[in-house]
Amino acid sequence: MEHPLRRFFEPRSVAVIGASATPHKPGNDVVKNILANKYTGKLYLVNPKGEEILGIKAHKSVAELPDGIDLAIVILPAQSNPEAVRQCAAKGIKAIVLAAGGFSEVDEAGRALQEELVRAIKETGVRVIGPNTSGHTSTPFNFTSSFFPLGPIPKGRVSYVAQTGNFATHTMRYIITGENFGIARFVGLGNKVDVDECDVLDYYIQDPETHAVLAYLESFKRPRLFLELAQRLTLKKPFILLKGGLTREGAEAAIAHTAALASDEKLTEAALRQSGVVQIEDYRHLILAAKALSWMDPPLGNRVSFMAPSGAMLVILADLCKRRWGLEVPQLLDETRRRLQDISPSYIRMRNPVDIWPAAYLHGIEKAYREAMEAVLEDPNVDAVVPILMLTRLIGMPSLQFIVELARAHPTKPIYVTFSGDKDCMEEAKAYLEPRGIPTFFQIEEPFEVLSILWRCTKAMKRRRGEDGVGELD
């Protein structure tokens, strides 16, 4: 049976209603985005002038369109949306993205207009994302409905659902230009007059392109169903949630943002944990965790070994692992410690965490880090490794291929790389490692924060599957 959201994520034909020939208008940028992502389906444009737009002849009205188009993107003023829904339905278009704001998130007049829109949706039986959305994306189908100028969107393994438009706009632009990972699917929910987070989760559960789900939500439209779907999802895929509106001030901002209302049946943190949802508190973790999940599976345990060119880093990070992040810094096997001692001066007593600089001073950065990382990766007491690389032009940039080779040799033990030193060297290392599947982080706390989040995902998924040997969820 076809999934109710199939037409949004796999549209064979698309109509842009409100397409524009004027550069930088939303109705022009959305067409540019569709073309830039090399969408291979049929594309129809609607503009009252019937002019040619970006080389495509526009129809003057919805009535002129052929019957049975899969998806319509409506870039029209809010007051025109109810009638546009009815016109689309009359042409057999069953999936619609409504971009316009100006509904319940604004004032009483907007609330009345949204009620009219809801009536049109119910009367016609169409499915709608929005209104007040900046679109959705489906890279396996080379498609986006975003009207923010994006260009080509890279493909990836993670999918987002967000009750905010910024993920389809400036956050997506940052990922495209500042990171090396891509996405599979994205949905900006907007005011959720029809399609909500439950519909999207139901699609992601069965989607083979989605290996992990990250969400930003300000309200739960159907809380009980949300929990049930989260339980199904977290049997096999990590689910990370940033919940907005937890304070009075945040809740008031959420109402002004997307007309979000508090649920009658509040979802407590305990209920979310029981369903396998891992909650985060920082917006940046929606990107950092996605980066790690894009190339590596979550860690199998919380035992981390790390090496740093600074004793202070070793001490502070070891403290934070225990006090803040729920990570263990385990003792190493005697054989592992002997291997570390073999590359170090005799005055250094080698242990975990690894004081790497004396070895690097003796043998060079590449050999010291390679030998140390290989030793701890082969230790059964270690689940993940974080090398803190000291990189400067004055010392010379080492070849980093050995990290790629070690990651391939130990696929069940994540390697997250972070740095200290020259910023341009750090940028160079990121540009080399990430396209080869190694996540990098510029702030030394970040890889540990991500390990903590993803270890919680591992625990949640094991708990949901009923596997033994898993402690209480944090």
**CA dist list (Å): 76 to 58, 79, 148:** 15, 8, 15
CB 448 within 8 A of CB 320: yes
Contacts of residue 361, Cβ cutoff 8 Å, sequence gap at least 6: none
Buried b (16+ CB within 10 A) or exposed e, 140-178: ebbbbbbbbbbeebeebbbbbbbbbbbbbbebbbebeee
Radius of gyration, CA atoms only, the chain: 25
CB atoms within 10 A of CB 395: 15
Contacts of residue 149, Cβ cutoff 8 Å, sequence gap at least 6: 24, 29, 32, 33, 173
Q: DSSP string of 301-319?
A: SSBEEEEES-HHHHHHHHH
Q: DSSP string of 384-450?
A: EEEEEEEE-TTT-PPP-HHHHHHHHH-TTS-B-EEEEE-HHHHHHHHHHHGGGT--EESSTTHHHHH
How far is Cα 97 from Cα 72, in angstroms, rounded to an integer?
6
Q: Which two tokens stand for residue 117?
A: 């829109």
All domains of the chain in start order, with CATH: 6-293 (3.40.50.261), 297-442 (3.40.50.261)
Going by DSSP bridges, is the β-strand pair 136-138/183-188 parallel, antiparallel, or unpaired? antiparallel
Contacts of residue 190, Cβ cutoff 8 Å, sequence gap at least 6: 98, 129, 130, 131, 132, 133, 163, 165, 258
How far is Cα 343 from Cα 363, in angstroms, rounded to an integer?
8
Which helix (H) or strand (E) segment is 95 a member of?
strand 95-98
Closest CA to 18 of 6, 9, 10, 26: 26
Cα angle value 445/446/447 (rounded, 5°): 100
Respond yes or no on whether the N-terminal peptide bond of residue 345 is cis (omega within 30° of 0).
no
Q: How would you list the strands of the sheet with 354-355, edge to edge? A: 354-355, 304-308, 384-391, 417-421, 440-441
> What is the pLDDT tens value at each position of the chain, 474 positions in all?
899 999 999 999 999 999 999 999 999 999 999 999 999 999 999 999 998 999 999 999 999 999 999 999 999 999 999 999 999 999 999 999 999 998 988 889 999 999 999 999 999 999 999 999 999 999 999 999 999 999 999 999 999 999 988 888 999 999 999 999 999 999 999 999 999 999 999 999 999 999 999 999 999 999 999 999 999 999 999 999 999 865 555 445 544 444 443 443 344 688 999 999 999 999 999 999 999 999 999 999 999 999 999 999 999 999 999 999 999 999 999 999 999 999 999 988 999 999 999 999 999 999 999 999 999 999 999 999 999 999 999 888 999 999 999 999 999 999 999 999 999 999 999 999 999 999 999 999 999 999 999 999 999 999 999 985 544 433
Closest CA to 445 of 238, 282, 336, 298: 282
Residue tagged 């207009």 (tokens): 113
Amino acid letter, residue 178: G
- 25 backbone φψ class: left, alpha, beta (φ>0; ψ -120 to 50): beta
Closest CA to 106 of 191, 196, 188, 25: 191
Contacts of residue 283, Cβ cutoff 8 Å, sequence gap at least 6: 216, 242
| Residue 223 confidence (pLDDT) | 92
In terms of DSSP H, where are the helices of 179-247?
Answer: 197-206, 223-233
| Residue 474 confidence (pLDDT) | 39
Q: DSSP string of 21-70?
A: SSTTSHHHHHHHHHHHTT--SEEEEE-TT--EETTEEEESSGGGSPTT-S
How far is Cα 17 from Cα 464, in angstroms, rounded to an integer?
44
